[in-house]
Structure 1
Amino acid sequence: MTTNEGPGRTIQSAEITLNIISELQTQDATRVTALANRLGHSKSTIHNHLHTLEDQQLVVREDGEYRLSLRILDMAMHVREQIGNYDVIRNEADALAEETGEIIQFGIEEHGKVSYLYKATGEQAVETLSGVGKQQPMHSTSLGKTILAYLPQDRTERLIESMDLERFTSNTITSADALRTELEEIRQRGYGIDDEENIEGLRCVSAPVENGDTVLGAISITGPLSRFTDDRIHGELSELATGAANVIELNTKFSG
């Protein structure tokens, strides 16, 4: 077993195991040889890791192929239930999706990215790359920028300094100073906007969900440029997002 030296030490064997799990997540089922080729390790190494995962009931072997087991789902549901206001988030997102017909998402910050906790799809919604459990950059999404704006300032600065500010469209913010200016604007108006910054043709508005001095996450409404005009974003849609965020905040405050 070897480790990589650095500010935080990582265990290579653990990295291989996690890479196997990530790869299996993209496949219906696959064989040892295919995994070894994709991950760049010997068949014996991959087989040993798969045997360990199977012994721990995290993967299932059927006809020589491996897939993730339902125990992964149990873990995911446990993580979801750790969010104490999950039921309120789900109910508000579902109601907002029904009212607007668009995509509604709730995200939190994890490891410097937006992690999607819940997604509701309205009748006229367009498909996006996001999904529950997936991650997106913070600097190019309304959810990410809104959360950044309401995190403690020192945390926000650390996150900005760690970002590569990758460009995804011609509208993506790629300057740390420009991002700081955008965050200040979000604080002043109370909601964030993704103006085709992550995906061309899609716009998004989101509002922060706070609990005292802590930002729990943000809720967003996403739709096509044709329906998400400036007037609608800064009027109806921002009001709907802010209203849903307030309901979640109140229920979180008085729950338990």
Structure 2
Amino acid sequence: MTERSNQSVRRAFKLVDELAENGPRGVSELADQLDMPVSTVHDYLQALIATGYVTKDESAYKTTTRFLEVGHRQCHRLEVFKAVRDELETVAEETGEHATLLIEEDDQAVIVAVQEGPDAINLFAYPGARMPLHATAPGKAMLAHMPTERVTDIIDRHGLVEVTPQTVTDPDVLFDQLEDVRSQGYAIDVGERIAGMVCIAAPILDKNDRIRGAICVCGPRSRLDEDRRSEIADVAQRAANVTQVNLDYV
């Protein structure tokens, strides 16, 4: 592929990202936001409309549900998604909280599936949402079972961005936490990504001890005291273990 073709693809996806992030926009508004000529933006939008991934509503352009279709198809191709579906529902019911399955992709933690228990608060968590590995319990659960060289490379490429004042930004502290995760079998973050929330996550390993994802439970700090955190960690670990067994039969 030529550099010109690469640039065209990048520009098209910049338009898609802008529409997905900020909602319907007009041509001029998109051109200003992305610092692109109006005529170029118009041409890309027409091409995206032709593919069915963008549509026009009066004078505004927006993404279509084709992306939802693509995402669902990809989820159902994931072995870990097939292996965890029933367990995730059980976790949400037993804890009453917000339960998610996450995987690592392109050095980020990505939500693949969501289940809400009867007491779950609205976290605006949805399949496809991405977050830094170091700032989340599921991210740490996965980092703990990656080779040290891989973790170091991720830190070198992306740094340890402070998401909240509680986020770990010191590599030495992070590596100490990852050692604790391996020792206790689960990870925890207290307000490191979302202020006031506690998240507890158990890693999902396959029979070769390769990390395949993490099961995470999140709830408000006021409800998740020390005793409650221990109970939830047990539930998440049991579910991760069952998922590991299920992976052998997917």
Question: Normalising to structure 2: TM-score of the pair?
Answer: 0.92
1:53 and 1:242 map into 2 onto residues whose CA distance is 44
Structure 1 segments unaligned to the other structure (5+ residues): 5-9
CA distance in 2, matches of 1:81, 1:69: 20
1:7 paired residue number: none
Structure 1 residue aligned with 2:214: 218
Taking the aligned partners of 1:93 and 1:49, their CA distance within structure 2 comes to 40
Counterpart amino acid of 1:48? D
Poorly superposed stretches of 4+, deviation over 4 Å? 1-4
* Structure with more of its chain in helix, by fraction: 2
TM-superposition CA deviations, 1:58-105 (whole Å, max 9, x none): 222343432223332221122112202323322211221122110101
For 2:227, the equivalent position in structure 1 comes to 231
The offset of 1:50, in angstroms, is: 0.8
CA distance in 1, matches of 2:45, 2:210: 40
How far off its partner does 1:34 sit? 2.0
Displacement of 1:160: 2.4
Q: Distance in 2 between matches of 1:240 and 1:113?
A: 25
- Return the match for 1:190 from 168, 185, 201: 185
Instruction: Give me the whole-angstrom Cα distance separating, in 2, the residues matched to 1:177 and 1:3.
Output: 40
- Kindly report the root-mean-square deviation, in angstroms, between the aligned alpha carbons of the 2 structures: 2.1
Tell me, yes or no, if structure 1 residue 93 matches structure 2 residue 93: no
Task: Write the letter of the residue equivalent to 2:216.
Answer: S
Q: Which residue number in structure 1 is paired with residue 71 of structure 2? A: 76
Q: CA deviation at 1:57?
A: 2.3
Change (3 A) 1:43 1:177: same
Determine the C-alpha separation between the residues in 2 that align with 1:177 and 1:206. 21
Q: 1:152 maps to which residue?
A: 147
Which secondary structure does the structure 2 equivalent of 1:26 belong to? Answer: helix
Query: Paired residues, what number?
Result: 249
CA contact (8 A) 1:107 1:219 kept: yes
Deviation at 1:130, TM superposition (A): 3.2
Q: For the residues of structure 2 that align with 1:162 and 1:130, how far apart are their CA atoms?
A: 26
Deviates more, 1:17-26 or 1:127-136: 127-136
For 2:214, the aligned partner's letter is A
Give the letter for the 2:9 counterpart. A
Residue aligned with 2:214, SS? strand
- In the alignment, the residues of structure 2 paired with residue 128 and residue 70 of structure 1 have an alpha-carbon distance, to the nearest angstrom, of 22
1:163-221: CA deviation from partner (whole Å, max 9, x where unpaired): 32122333211111111111011001110001221122111110000112311010011
What is residue 177 of structure 1 aligned with on the other side?
A: 172
Contact 1:32 1:46 in 2 (8 A): yes
**8 Å CA contact retained: 1:190, 1:207:** yes
Instruction: Return the alpha-carbon distance in structure 1 between the equivalents of residues 69 and 226 of structure 2.
Output: 42
Equivalent AA in structure 1 for residue 136 of structure 2: T
1:134 Cα deviation after fit = 0.8
Q: Match for 1:167 among 138, 162, 166?
A: 162
Letter in 2 for 1:225: R
Highest relative contact order (Cα 8 Å, sep 6+), 1 or 2? 2
Which position in structure 2 is the counterpart of 1:25? 20
Tell me the TM-score normalised to structure 1 length. Answer: 0.90
Give SS of 1:49's match: helix
The 1-side partners of 2:29 and 2:134 are apart by 35
Output the amino acid matched with 1:21. Answer: V
Match of 2:199 among 176, 196, 204: 204
Distance in 1 separating the partners of 2:129 and 2:120: 19
Cα separation, 1, equivalents of 2:21 and 2:239 = 33
Map residues 59-70 of structure 1 onto 2, 5 A cutoff.
Answer: 59-70=54-65
- Give the 3 Å change call, closer, same or farther, for CA 238–252 of structure 1 in structure 2: same
Q: 8 Å contact 1:2–1:13 — kept in the other structure? A: no
